[in-house]
């Protein structure tokens, strides 16, 4: 059971990182917003 929870945390972490890369690439550091990342990850 613990490994499933750990895997979900890793998956979430990877989705957030991928969304951040996408947002920073499109908007740059100064214009990036967490709301953009949230829309990408579906959260």
pLDDT of residue 1: 55
Number of folded domains that form the chain: 1
Answer yes or no: are the C-beta atoms of 32 and 15 closer than 8 Å.
no
3 state SS of 32: coil
pLDDT of residue 34: 93
Q: Which of 24, 5, 17, 25 is nearest to 41 (CA)?
A: 17
* Residue ranges making up the domain that contains 36: 2-41
pLDDT of residue 42: 85
pTM exceeds cut of 0.85: no
Each residue's pLDDT tens digit, 9-31: 999 999 999 999 999 999 999 99
């Amino acid at each position: 059971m613990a490994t499933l929870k750990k895997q979900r945390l890793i998956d979430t972490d990877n989705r957030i990182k991928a969304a951040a890369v996408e947002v920073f690439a499109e908007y740059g550091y100064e214009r990036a917003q967490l709301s953009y990342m949230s829309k990408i990850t579906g959260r």
